[in-house]
């Protein structure tokens, strides 16, 4: 096998308007940050883009047998600035670099897909903490939802400390409140 073919890990042609619309949805609902992970995988005829627990799709043709994970917002800029005159455009992963339009960015490529972890658009704190309780941090990071879970953990800690201060006249220890919250997260 020639070196060029060995280094080419994935190559698809994507429907550009669907991709642009998907990224508009992600920007509105996933609240991306510079550290947010965007995961690109394939499901049937669709390229699946996940960020912050939100999933969007765009039709593709070609070979994409794994997952590409890109950090940051570079892909957003590439999709936004891509000329509207094109109906389709290639996206490739070669030597652990995602290439779209004139942009090339580092990515982590894995042939085996991790289990999908999605956070509903209007998820409550309890919903996110239940996902956290059921999923390893590695899988949360692979799916681009670790930032949302870390924020939920911080909020849980702040709320527990606030409850301890509020209930101080009743001498309820922090451990009891933490245990009560843990039971609620587990659905007990």
Domain extents for the chain? Answer: 3-110, 125-186
pLDDT, tens digit, for every residue of 149-165?
999 999 999 999 999 99
**Model pLDDT, residue 61:** 94
Say if strands 88-94 and 37-43 run parallel, antiparallel, or are unpaired.
Answer: unpaired
Q: Percentage of residues in the chain with pLDDT exceeding 70?
A: 90
pTM higher than 0.85 = no
pLDDT, tens digit, for every residue of 44-102?
899 999 887 788 999 999 999 888 988 867 777 767 666 677 788 899 999 999 998 77
Closest CA to 31 of 122, 153, 156, 131: 122
**Model pLDDT, residue 166:** 96
The kind and range of the H/E element at 7 are helix 3-7
For domain 3-110, which CATH number applies: 3.40.1160.10, 3.30.420.270, 3.10.150.10, 1.10.260.40? Answer: 3.10.150.10
Closest CA to 80 of 53, 56, 103: 103
- For range 28-36, the mean pLDDT: 75
Do residues 30 and 36 lie in contact, with contact meaning Cβ atoms separated by under 8 Å?
A: yes
Paired tokens of 138: 């590695």
φ/ψ of 168, rounded to 5, equals -55, -40
- For range 111-120, the mean pLDDT: 74
């Amino acid at each position: 096998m020639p070196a060029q073919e060995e280094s080419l890990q994935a190559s698809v042609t994507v429907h550009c308007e669907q991709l642009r619309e998907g990224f508009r949805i992600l920007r509105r609902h996933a609240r991306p940050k510079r550290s947010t992970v965007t995961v690109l995988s394939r499901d049937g005829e669709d390229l699946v883009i996940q960020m912050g627990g939100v999933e969007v799709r765009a039709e593709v043709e070609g070979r994409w047998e794994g997952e590409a994970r890109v950090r940051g917002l570079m892909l957003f800029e590439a999709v936004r600035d891509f000329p509207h005159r094109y109906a389709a455009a290639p996206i490739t992963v070669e030597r652990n670099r995602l290439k779209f339009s004139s942009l090339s960015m580092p990515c982590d490529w894995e042939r085996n897909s991790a289990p999908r972890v999605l956070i509903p658009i209007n998820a409550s704190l309890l919903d996110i903490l239940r996902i956290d309780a059921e999923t390893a941090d590695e899988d949360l990071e692979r799916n681009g939802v670790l930032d949302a879970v870390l924020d939920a953990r911080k909020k849980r800690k702040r709320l527990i400390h606030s409850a301890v201060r509020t209930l101080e006249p009743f001498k309820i220890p922090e451990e009891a409140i933490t245990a009560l919250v843990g039971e609620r997260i587990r659905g007990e």
